[in-house]
A = this chain, B = another copy of it.
């Protein structure tokens, strides 16, 4: 059977379908009985210029969901409206907003406000910032998000993880107690740079489970300071110094604080449990923190002469003297753009802290937004969220706010309370506004211990045993990544724990690439399907052929391995044939279906492999190379050395055609 022309053709030049028939193949293939097989040419993908390729690649990287597709074939006016709706999602839902929706949003907005106020104060303390910064941060950012954000259920404000990371990283550079003004400046600057955070896909779920659990344990242990009423506490974050500090300062433990703290902690944990058991009672746990704050404040106020051991927050009493703006004015967010710090020795720390907290808050915000969007079947656009959360943080840094994003716990309450649009964030911000303007003096006697109890209750939900157990069941290596980040955070440090976790995740990807799976394939009788006989017992090896599959791109990182491994398969097959007196091996077919990419090292490996097998008088044939692999094989001229009959569209066609050729030339 002759082959008419070069089997590799440019797509543009083959308008008529070119198919060769292999009539003798039915008998030629000895074991596999199959109808005559048509032999198809392997085509190159349509040719593209480097610029076109680059453009396509970049649009896939940054705009995978093609956000501009709605703009196609529209009038200019519609385009303008669409553009407005695109950049300000508020224009999308505001025109159809109704009183019924408003009613739901008011209820949910008030509910999350009752949660946001105590959490805001608590999380600011976690970031070593004055508590009022937490309230400021629950006012401006939610307003901005309600205009720019595309999620309808995200409740915006400070969150525990970002607060913790910011507090740790900045405190390593500048002590918050020794130089509170510089610390505050760095915090605003970091918040500004957090606005430049970007979406990064290298935080795997496993990593996050471990990291968040580790952070939750660290945060909870830190709260022992407040819960036990210890005045002199370590500033370190690792588990060992914190526990040492707790027990060394036993003489500072205050029984009044302990009694009060653990009672409220029990109250908060019980309400949390009730809401978890019965989602309809979500308001029980939502109202509990504010109730605790009010109750404890009243208690301290009433018993103030008797409770010397209990330290109080003094939100309104902030003795901060800002060099530029004087005393923090009571009332609304003061401007803070003059406190941004764009030069000097701490700029690098601020940028690093900002970018890391920015990435973390973006990851959390988008994940939370998507979770609730999926429940209501709408979509949250990653790029738009990146812009919304970024802009919100940059604006926040100029109005005395620190890093904010969508909080999981508050968004869940928002969703359960029936929030319909971002108006619930506006309601929440308005409530915080009222608090800032009129209610601040009421917080004068709020005890620190209650904030510790609130933080513990909030972060305890981050410890997800079940997810960790599922990781163990499904993927041991994922579980290992999870444990690495957990123990990294506990014993080393929060940023390093995160780095270790990302490292393990990336290493896992690389490991898969460096040592990919290779296997022998056999034919399932009566079909053109080739599968691994150790998985499908009906799959039969084809005599005189060794059909191999590589399950990975062929790269510099694995080209040597694949070469050695294939030679080992060939050697083992030959030894087995010798032992069984089988038909001599004549042809090695490499199924390239799963070889989705190749680089220059890979091409060299294929080329060398062919030479080595030829020296052993074995034919080496490739089946079903993917589009870009085909292109590279073509560009590197390796196809010329493969000659005719070196490439087939499918393993079945290769077996049929080569067998028939053998029959023709005995």
Q: Which of chain B's residues has its CB closest to A535's CB?
A: B45
Interface 9-residue window, one of A229-237, A354-362, A415-423, A599-607: A599-607
Tell me whether A78 is interfacial, beta carbon within 8 Å: no
Known contacts A600-B206, A627-B535; is-contact A636 B470 (Cβ 8 Å): yes
Known contacts A11-B535, A374-B611; is-contact A600 B471 (Cβ 8 Å): yes
Determine if B560 and A201 form an interchain contact, defined as CB atoms under 8 angstroms apart: yes
Determine if B473 and A636 form an interchain contact, defined as CB atoms under 8 angstroms apart: yes
- Interface readout for A53-93 with B: 1 if CB under 8 Å, 0 if not? 11001001100111001000000000000000000000000
Nearest CB on B from A568, distance (A):
5
Tell me whether A254 is interfacial, beta carbon within 8 Å: no
Chain B residues closer than 8 Å to A205, beta-carbon distance: 556, 600-601, 604
Tell me whether A524 is interfacial, beta carbon within 8 Å: yes
Determine if A382 and B560 form an interchain contact, defined as CB atoms under 8 angstroms apart: yes
Restricting to A500-518, which residues have a CB under 8 Å from any CB of B? 505-506, 508-517
Chain B residues closer than 8 Å to A534, beta-carbon distance: 45-46
Nearest CB on B from A528, distance (A):
5
Chain B residues closer than 8 Å to A512, beta-carbon distance: 553, 596-597
Determine if B596 and A529 form an interchain contact, defined as CB atoms under 8 angstroms apart: no
Determine if A473 and B635 form an interchain contact, defined as CB atoms under 8 angstroms apart: yes
- Interface readout for A526-537 with B: 1 if CB under 8 Å, 0 if not? 111101101111
Nearest CB on B from A415, distance (A):
17
- Interface readout for A615-626 with B: 1 if CB under 8 Å, 0 if not? 100000000001
Determine if A532 and B636 form an interchain contact, defined as CB atoms under 8 angstroms apart: no
Nearest CB on B from A202, distance (A):
6
Determine if A568 and B377 form an interchain contact, defined as CB atoms under 8 angstroms apart: no
Determine if A536 and B43 form an interchain contact, defined as CB atoms under 8 angstroms apart: yes
Chain B residues closer than 8 Å to A11, beta-carbon distance: 535, 537
Chain B residues closer than 8 Å to A370, beta-carbon distance: 560
Interface 9-residue window, one of A163-171, A314-322, A440-448, A474-482: A474-482
Determine if B537 and A470 form an interchain contact, defined as CB atoms under 8 angstroms apart: no
Determine if B475 and A632 form an interchain contact, defined as CB atoms under 8 angstroms apart: yes
Compute how far the CA of A200 lies from the CA of B69 in the bound complex, rounded to whole angstroms: 45
Determine if A615 and B377 form an interchain contact, defined as CB atoms under 8 angstroms apart: yes
Known contacts A505-B556, A556-B206; is-contact A476 B50 (Cβ 8 Å): yes
Compute how far the CA of A535 lies from the CA of B12 in the bound complex, rounded to whole angstroms: 10
Determine if B558 and A201 form an interchain contact, defined as CB atoms under 8 angstroms apart: yes
Determine if B532 and A565 form an interchain contact, defined as CB atoms under 8 angstroms apart: no
Chain B residues closer than 8 Å to A50, beta-carbon distance: 476
How many of these chains are in the complex?
Answer: 2
Chain B residues closer than 8 Å to A596, beta-carbon distance: 512, 516-517, 551-552, 594
What's the tally of chain A residues with a CB closer than 8 Å to chain B? Answer: 100
Determine if A203 and B556 form an interchain contact, defined as CB atoms under 8 angstroms apart: yes
Determine if A538 and B17 form an interchain contact, defined as CB atoms under 8 angstroms apart: yes
Chain B residues closer than 8 Å to A564, beta-carbon distance: 64-65, 382
Tell me whether A561 is interfacial, beta carbon within 8 Å: yes
Q: Which of chain B's residues has its CB closest to A467's CB?
A: B600
Determine if A201 and B635 form an interchain contact, defined as CB atoms under 8 angstroms apart: no
Tell me whether A650 is interfacial, beta carbon within 8 Å: yes
Known contacts A204-B557, A204-B601; is-contact A527 B528 (Cβ 8 Å): yes
Q: Which of chain B's residues has its CB closest to A204's CB?
A: B556
Nearest CB on B from A398, distance (A):
31
Restricting to A538-595, which residues have a CB under 8 Å from any CB of B? 538, 551-553, 555-558, 560-561, 564-565, 567-568, 571-572, 593-594
Nearest CB on B from A16, distance (A):
9
Tell me whether A649 is interfacial, beta carbon within 8 Å: yes
Compute how far the CA of A537 lies from the CA of B615 in the bound complex, rounded to whole angstroms: 38
Chain B residues closer than 8 Å to A201, beta-carbon distance: 514, 556-558, 560-561
Compute how far the CA of A626 lies from the CA of B550 in the bound complex, rounded to whole angstroms: 12
Nearest CB on B from A27, distance (A):
19
Chain B residues closer than 8 Å to A561, beta-carbon distance: 64, 201
Known contacts A474-B600, A474-B603; is-contact A567 B636 (Cβ 8 Å): no
Determine if A650 and B529 form an interchain contact, defined as CB atoms under 8 angstroms apart: yes
Determine if A206 and B599 form an interchain contact, defined as CB atoms under 8 angstroms apart: yes
Tell me whether A15 is interfacial, beta carbon within 8 Å: yes
Tell me whether A38 is interfacial, beta carbon within 8 Å: yes
- Interface readout for A458-474 with B: 1 if CB under 8 Å, 0 if not? 00000000000011011
Tell me whether A40 is interfacial, beta carbon within 8 Å: yes
Tell me whether A496 is interfacial, beta carbon within 8 Å: no
Q: List 20 A-B contacts (CB under 8 A).
A: A40-B524, A40-B538, A45-B535, A61-B511, A201-B514, A203-B556, A204-B599, A204-B601, A205-B601, A382-B560, A474-B632, A478-B600, A506-B510, A509-B557, A531-B649, A551-B596, A551-B597, A551-B626, A552-B596, A594-B596
